[in-house]
Amino acid sequence: MSGQSQYSFILASASPRRKQLLTEAGYKFTVLRPDIDELAFSTKNVKPYEYAERLALAKAKNIAEKHPDCLVIAADTIADFEGEIIGKPTDAMEAEQITNKLFSRPHKVITGIAIVRLRDGIELNQSDTTTVYPKKLTAEQIAEHIKSGTWRDKAGAYAIQESGDEFIERIEGSLTNVMGLPMELLERLLKRLIEQETPFQ
């Protein structure tokens, strides 16, 4: 169980995968869905990791403004295909296009994390990057994946913990990052707050 589990915070995310990772690690938290328009954030002239960090920070601040005394943690995950930012597909056609692209060669998965508390000006914002080496999928495998609908609401149109053996040859970096929340980075950021003797409550 994580050493930070004694502290509580708000998770600004509706992601069941992030909730599961935090719960399994022993964290105490409540969940609130941020209300931001991700389409309002341009992907032009911005590095993929900067984009992920900006969205994570916007999500955290959206909830923190309503709960200024609470510590708020948010995350945003994207795929980086040779510098192209790829988020969640909007429909089956886009999911198929993304799958064909990402599983043609190695790509990166980037998750930005933001930790915010307005009361005392806490604002931490970093990202983690994992390189994914995919297996070559057949047309039948891709068609089955699209038909299954498991691509919905997932950056890059796949989730490694659900069908990683089918899709992934190997990864370099954090597995939980690909799942949507790099737990190692989160623990480092929370440890930094503790070392600064900043109380969470």
Q: What is the C-alpha separation between 115 and 36, in angstroms, rounded? A: 17
pLDDT of residue 142: 81
Instruction: Find, among 28, 24, 23, the residue nearest to 7 by Cα.
Output: 28
Residues 6+ apart with CB under 8 A from 134: 102, 103, 104, 105, 106, 107, 167, 168, 169
Of 35, 76, 80, 153, the catalytic one is: 76
pLDDT over threshold 90, residue 125: yes
Q: Identify whether the C-beta of residue 19 lies closer than 8 Å to the C-beta of residue 78.
A: no
Summarised one tens digit per residue, pLDDT across range 163-184 is: 455 678 889 999 999 889 999 9
Residue ranges in 33-131 assigned as alpha helix (H): 48-64, 92-102
Instruction: Report pTM.
Output: 0.84
| Burial class of residue 187 (count of CB atoms within 10 Å of its CB; 0-12, 13-18, 19+) | middle
Mean pLDDT confidence for 17-43: 90
Q: What is the mean pLDDT of the chain?
A: 85
Who has greater pLDDT, 55 or 179? 55
DSSP-assigned states of every residue in 113-178: EEEEETTTTEEEEEEEEEEEEEPPPPHHHHHHHHHHTTTTT-GGG--HHHHHHHHEEEEES-HHHH
pLDDT of residue 201: 46
pLDDT of residue 121: 94
Domains detected in the chain: 3-195 (3.90.950.10)
Mean pLDDT confidence for 180-197: 89
β-pair partners for 119: none
76 carries an active-site annotation: yes
Mean pLDDT confidence for 141-163: 69
Q: Identify whether the C-beta of residue 57 lies closer than 8 Å to the C-beta of residue 112.
A: yes
Summarised one tens digit per residue, pLDDT across range 69-79 is: 999 999 999 98
Q: What is the C-alpha separation between 34 and 77, in angstroms, rounded? A: 15
Q: What is the C-alpha separation between 135 and 164, in angstroms, rounded? A: 10
pLDDT of residue 118: 96
Q: What is the C-alpha separation between 101 and 86, in angstroms, rounded? A: 10
pLDDT of residue 1: 36
